Chains A and B, each alone.
Chain A
């Protein structure tokens, strides 16, 4: 079920540090859905998360207005986080490529279980960074030692003292 990690820690950290605003496609208003968990966590870590879900357009999730599509979002955003199936990730990625310049999109991130190699190839050709089959919440937690609090194997070996904001 778990596929091997194919991204370096340094690469993922660089993405998470450079990103400020995330458009989350497939964000759910239901509190016990995985996308809601991820959105709430990422908000807590200081990211702005803009939900995209045509079935809930105009409503609010966690204080943010829901848009029907990426092109409906009035603001700029750095990352598109895809909480849809692998097939649906294709056209969403194409929309992200088309909007990349206008919106400032730099990263297309597909969630755990979402893998669309052809779409990833098109995005990379357009100069975007692509992450597939990963969750930004879990990677943020893993790289900042929070996943370790739950007894998970972060794979991080380091004798460096992490800086804590006080």
Chain B
């Protein structure tokens, strides 16, 4: 890193970009920190300027449902950190998933996704998406041949998590990208749990990345948000099956996004059509809080990973713990994939199985003093949850088991507290659970 690239421009390192990308000083006032543009609408110079903006012929702001300067700063920063062409921020990680698929899917279309996704994604894809007549085909993505066999003429994408929530599962991004590209469809990777500091899916062939920015990117537990980042590399026109991106758009008088905007097509469409009509916009204040979070991303992720590894090692040796599913441990079946895709650390969210089953799981989370019992991950605070009774409650038992969220499972999101304090709290909670 940090050398001259072939254009003669300095190729700045990750840490420099996480602080500076997208946020040059505000030119009118010179404000160094990015202002919160708490503003809905933007004045036109004249009627012609307004027409140019509405026709997408010039860059600029119309209305904050589509674009906002503070949100745009975060979009550029995330696009830069992922190595993508552009980014579209939105109200939540779930909104990001709708936005990504909205550009790709027509009624009757299908997509392939992992059986081990975050429970909320399984519900969104498996139930709510059906109302759009979008069919999710859940496949064990560890079996690359099974993914290949699941492709149909109606399949428009493959969707996986780089590092799956909750259970220490790592996706073989490079192999899945090859399957997707053989079928002329994009690979979408949810990179929430890894963040671009630990894993950059575009470097392994992914075409779109989605995030819940609520988690490690913001890190402070203040702001719900999401993002879709486009690599700019997928040729929507060549594939010939993505009319939302590469056919005349009736709502823009026949504009063809791919033809007009080239590698910027997806991000233009996601704002001009996706956010315009779905309306799931990120609030400027949330973008600001998330920008603050990204400024310390590398430092936080390093400590998250080292704390989590120490906690996982402690738990693996505990007599009441049946198993630990953490890709940082050599005992994990995903250890090799983690070494490949997450060489700087396997994140800080993982699951354990308690010998005492459901009752022990409930008792353990209730007995923690320092770890917060709540339904989030990626906070500076350590968090604990019993998925079967909370986040994965809507799933069937079979789905819970497939998602790594069976009755004995406890999910941990290890924060940045003194690691000995985290271990001590878990130790006393396990002692209490042992009496359950």
Contact = CB atoms under 8 A, between A and B. Distances in A.
B129 to A, nearest CB: 25
Contacts of B55: 31-32, 37
B79 interface: yes
A148 B72 contact: yes
A151 B76 contact: yes
Nearest to B60: A149
A154 B7 contact: no
B434 interface: no
Interface string B82-93: 001111110000
A157 B23 CA distance: 8
- Main DSSP-derived SS at the A contact region: loop
A164 B235 CA distance: 37
Contact of A161 (B25, B49, B232): B25
Given A32-B254, A153-B86, A2 B233 contact: yes
B259 to A, nearest CB: 7
A29 interface: no
Interface in B46-91: 49, 52, 55-61, 67, 69, 71-73, 75-76, 79-80, 84-89
B60 A148 contact: no
Given A32-B252, A44-B58, A150 B262 contact: no
Contacts of A152: 75-76, 79, 85-87, 264, 267
B420 to A, nearest CB: 39
A14 interface: no
A87 B360 CA distance: 72
Given A40-B52, A112-B262, A147-B59, A164 B72 contact: no
A154 B59 CA distance: 13
A77 to B, nearest CB: 22
A154 B76 contact: yes
Interface stretch (A3-11, A53-61, A65-73): A3-11
Given A148-B73, A149-B69, A150-B267, A37 B79 contact: no
Interface stretch (B9-17, B117-125, B136-144, B422-430): B9-17
Contacts of B85: 2, 152-153
A160 interface: yes
Contacts of B57: 36-37, 40-41
Contact of A145 (B24, B58, B84): B24
A34 interface: yes
Given A8-B7, A40-B58, A151 B253 contact: no
Given A40-B57, A141-B59, A153-B84, A161 B271 contact: no
B149 interface: no
A1 B260 contact: no
A99 interface: no
Interface size class, chain B: 35 or more
A146 interface: yes
B255 interface: yes
A91 interface: no
A17 interface: no
B6 interface: yes
B89 to A, nearest CB: 7
A158 B24 contact: yes
A149 B67 contact: yes
A111 to B, nearest CB: 9
Contacts of B262: 1-2, 112-113, 135
A147 B85 CA distance: 11
B72 A159 contact: no
Most A CB contacts (10 A, CB to CB) among B28, B56, B59, B263 go to B59
Interface of B: 6-10, 12, 16-17, 20-22, 24-25, 27-28, 30, 32, 49, 52, 55-61, 67, 69, 71-73, 75-76, 79-80, 84-89, 232-235, 252-255, 259-260, 262-264, 267-268, 271
22 contacts: A1-B232, A2-B262, A6-B6, A7-B7, A8-B9, A31-B55, A32-B260, A34-B260, A145-B24, A146-B60, A150-B268, A151-B72, A151-B88, A151-B89, A152-B85, A153-B84, A155-B80, A158-B24, A159-B24, A161-B25, A161-B27, A164-B28
Interface of A: 1-2, 4-11, 31-34, 36-37, 40-41, 44, 112-113, 135, 138, 141, 145-164
